[in-house]
Amino acid sequence: MLNRSGTWVAPGRVNLIGEHTDYNGGFCLPIALEHTTRARVRLRSDDEVRFRSTAGDRGGEYAVGVLAAFRAESYDVPGADISVDSDVPIGAGLSSSAALECAIALAINDLVGLGLPRTVLARIAQRAENEFVGAPTGILDQSASLLCTAGHALLLDCRDQSTEQVPFDPAASGLHLLVIDTRAHHQLTDGQYGDRRDECARAARALGLGSLRDAGAADLDLLGDDLLRRRARHVITENQRVLEVVVMLRAGRLGDIGPLLTASHASLRDDYEVSCPELDVAVAAALAAGARGARMTGGGFGGSAIALADSSAAVEEEVRAAFDRHGFAAPDVFEVRPGAGARREPGSTTLDERSGRTTARPTTGPPSTKGH
């Protein structure tokens, strides 16, 4: 009996900077978290998908969506028995859904022997989310989960999905990257995210461009509509900030990126209008406690903020006190390090295509398409 099963893990992410740029063909700079979703997957002899999770039925639609997305791309994939557990916080804006999609997409790719590159798997996982779950998200989260490597941030150019691994090691600079999960509502299917996408598409059309990626600061004066001008200004300046952060990281100046993170938050709050009181209080409190920079991360309207700080304790204490003063539920504050991308779990077995024997394969990391 051939072994057609194994275990794959895929991480959640935080985006360091480059927010709401992905669906505008722009730049993002995520890291993978050490928090992962683990999927044990066994191929079936029929077309059915059976899903079990330690979080109950939650996530079943993502599993079905990934299999459906492979089929919609004309890949001949059988059904699967999938059982899942995860330590990626759910609803915190840390891409728990992408982690689940990517673990399953990588499992199916390996078990069926499709040999697809990870950039294609990212698009299939995104398609699962867009078409089968109904969230009109970009390619950031799935790319981060599949393409990030430990110790690096991933510079992702969403125009062509090309990537560069950028060294990112806060500890080496005596710094800490903190996630502040505000526990505030986070739901990308509720319309506001889609509204932003539409506004960006309208702004690009008004400028006669295919996407805002191709717009520059000089174009802003050509936009008569104030709302569209502010949306476009966020995207244009955010792309610029991503590239400035990358230059600093490459120059060993991680400690200097703080003001760019904070400027990104102001732009998301004022021009793009996707922040919320909890995120603004988290950022203000982190800065008051001496953080070098802080910003919301992910889609916004709740979810998490990040802070780059010399002292985690000082930031955590001040954020907790500020939330208490505002009558907000207590936030969850924890430190993160750049983890590895999605991978097969060591010791997990699969069919060796050439010999037909069952073999153990080592964990393999994602390749870089542009080198270091």
Q: Is 139 within 8 Å of 24 (Cβ atoms)?
A: no
Residue 267 is a binding residue for ligand GLA (CB under 6 A)? no
Q: What are the backbone angles phi and psi of residue 242, rounded to the nearest 5°? A: -60, -45
Q: How far is the CB of 23 from ligand GLA (least distance, A)?
A: 6
Q: Does 12 bind ligand GLA (CB under 6 A)?
A: no
- Which pair of structure tokens corresponds to residue 233? 């200004």
**Cβ distance to ligand GLA smaller for residue 193 or 350:** 193
Give the nearer residue to ligand GLA in terms of CB position, either 12 or 170: 12
Q: Does 141 bind ligand GLA (CB under 6 A)?
A: yes
Among 5, 22, 43, 68, binds ligand GLA (CB under 6 A): 22
State the nearest-atom distance from the C-beta of 303 to ligand GLA, in Å: 8
**CA atoms of 87 and 164, how far apart (whole Å):** 27
Residue placing its CB nearer to ligand GLA in the complex, 135 or 177: 135
Residues 55-94 as x/- pattern, contact with ligand GLA by CB under 6 A: ----------------------------------------
Shortest reach from residue 371's CB to ligand GLA, in Å = 25
Q: Catalytic amino acids?
A: 141
Integer distance in angstroms from the first to the last C-alpha of the chain?
42
Can you list the positions of beta strands (E) in 90-175? Answer: 152-157, 162-167
- Answer for which of 11, 25, 59, 299 binds ligand GLA (CB under 6 A) is 299
Binder among 16, 17, 20, 348 for ligand GLA (CB under 6 A): 20
Q: Identify the sign of the CA torsion 267, 271, 273, 278.
A: positive
Query: Judged by CB under 6 A, which of 89, 298, 302, 331 binds ligand GLA?
Result: 298
CB of 138 to ligand GLA, least distance (A): 3
What φ, ψ does residue 210 adopt, rounded to 5°?
Answer: -70, -35
Q: What is the DSSP string of 151-218?
A: TEEEEEETTTTEEEEEE--GGGGT-EEEEEE------TTSSHHHHHHHHHHHHHHHTT-SSGGG--GG
Selected binder of ligand GLA within 24, 36, 137, 348 (CB under 6 A): 137
Contact status, residue 280 vs residue 294, Cβ threshold 8 Å: no
Q: Taking a C-beta distance cutoff of 8 angstroms, is the pair 3, 17 a contact?
A: no
Backbone angles phi, psi at 363, to 5 degrees: -65, 130
CB of 347 to ligand GLA, least distance (A): 32
For every residue of 29-41, DSSP letters joined together read: -EEEEEEEEEEEE
Q: Which of residues 174-213 bind ligand GLA (CB under 6 A)?
A: none
Q: Does 140 bind ligand GLA (CB under 6 A)?
A: yes
Q: Which of 138, 170, 258, 338 binds ligand GLA (CB under 6 A)?
A: 138
- Write down the least CB distance from residue 263 to ligand GLA, Å: 16
Residues contributing to the site for ligand GLA (CB under 6 A) = 15, 19-20, 22-23, 137-138, 140-141, 298-299
